[in-house]
Copies of this chain bind each other. A is one copy, B any other.
Amino acid sequence: MPETVEIGLGRSARRGYHLDDIALVPTRRTRGQAAVSTSWQIDAHAFDLPFVAAPSDAVVSPASAVEIERLGGLAVLDGEGIWCRYEDADAELSGLTDETGRLQEVYAKPVSPDLLRARIAGLRTAGVRVAVRLSPQHTAELAPHALAEGVDLLVIQGTVISAEHVLREDQPGLNLKTFIADLDVPVLVGGVTNYQTALHLMRTGAAGVIIGYGAHLGSTTHSVLGIEVPMATALVDAAAARRDYLDETGGRYVHLVAYGDLATGADIAKALACGADAVMLGEPLASATEAPGHGLYWDATASHPRVPRSAIVDFADGDPHRPTLEELLVGPTSDPSGERNLFGAVRRVMGKCGYSTVKEFQKAELIVTTTR
């Protein structure tokens, strides 16, 4: 039974837990690094790291995607981002500041289906596995272009989505259930924040469901909309949906990709321990020398023309010693903050807790550490 409290007469609410509210408890035998694997396989695609780079123009460019593939992860290009709106995307990126108004102007230019196809073609030529993100609103229009050019994974992602969207009374929106079922490529879909929506999206035939909407330091969604996802609870609930769907289908396993509140190796480890198969990272990569945002971070919600829901955050902040993606993802590092060598840290804590694989690590013991 979920934990509920009565917030007033006759009205109950569940209590949600953030990753910051919990910690890992080493309780079994310990394992050395050589006895631990962080590998991840979704559909036909295998990766050394349980890691997807978020479809933010601040971190994934055609160039950085190549480096991310080399380091063992999967980069998702935003199919509605600057790269698919401007021929000379770098020029636009160089002109950005931390002003939301400027961002709104840049993203006011329409997406070019031709540029989208050209970007995909470029990635295929570079030899990397191609993942592209589209918003639910534009999937019907843009997905045919992406699919025609050949993508390995399609990501259909908005802040909060549902399997059933109503545009206006008696006018349904995109039906993800039939749309995804008809596709040949595996689909990641989200963000999702609760059991019920997760289960409904699993039933669309998606290969994976994204839990959370990438809430990060700059996110103001909790202040603008009042929606907040306690990530530990959201992941545990989605894992329950996965179990129920496994039972319902006699064995179809849907991946959970955590997206939000992930800044350190500790955060990633806790997300995996709560049931995630992989994590989607945006902000933690923004300070990389290879990041196309030159140290700034923003996501799709920051450029909304009427109700922007993220601030632009400067993660470089004039630092002359910005790390490489390699230092950030697999180390080594001399930075003890937890924000670098993210997956070196994950591998280490998996060993300290006695687990060999990510799947086993999903059973790690947890403790609630915030009594305050």
A 53-69 contacts with B by CB, 8 A = none
Question: Is A277 at the interface (CB under 8 A from chain B)?
Answer: no
Asked if A30 and B161 make an inter-chain contact with CB atoms under 8 angstroms apart, the answer reads yes
C-alpha gap A267/B236 in the complex (Å): 27
Identify which of A117-125, A140-148, A346-354 touches chain B. Answer: A346-354
C-alpha gap A341/B311 in the complex (Å): 15
A 121-160 contacts with B by CB, 8 A = 159-160
Residues in B neighbouring A26, C-beta threshold 8 A: 160, 162, 193-194, 197, 227
Asked if A337 and B306 make an inter-chain contact with CB atoms under 8 angstroms apart, the answer reads no
Identify which of A44-52, A163-171, A252-260, A287-295 touches chain B. Answer: A163-171
Asked if B264 and A223 make an inter-chain contact with CB atoms under 8 angstroms apart, the answer reads yes
Asked if A372 and B21 make an inter-chain contact with CB atoms under 8 angstroms apart, the answer reads yes
Q: Who on chain B is nearest to A371 by CB?
A: B21
Asked if B160 and A30 make an inter-chain contact with CB atoms under 8 angstroms apart, the answer reads yes
Asked if B32 and A368 make an inter-chain contact with CB atoms under 8 angstroms apart, the answer reads no
Given A23-B222, A371-B15: A344 in contact with B307 (beta carbons within 8 A): yes
Identify which of A2-10, A88-96, A178-186, A202-210 touches chain B. Answer: A2-10
Can you report 28 residue pairs joining A to B where beta carbons are below 8 Å apart? A5-B15, A8-B233, A8-B274, A9-B195, A11-B236, A11-B240, A11-B275, A16-B367, A16-B369, A17-B371, A18-B371, A21-B371, A26-B160, A26-B227, A28-B162, A29-B163, A30-B164, A30-B165, A32-B168, A32-B173, A223-B266, A223-B339, A224-B264, A226-B267, A226-B269, A265-B307, A311-B337, A370-B371
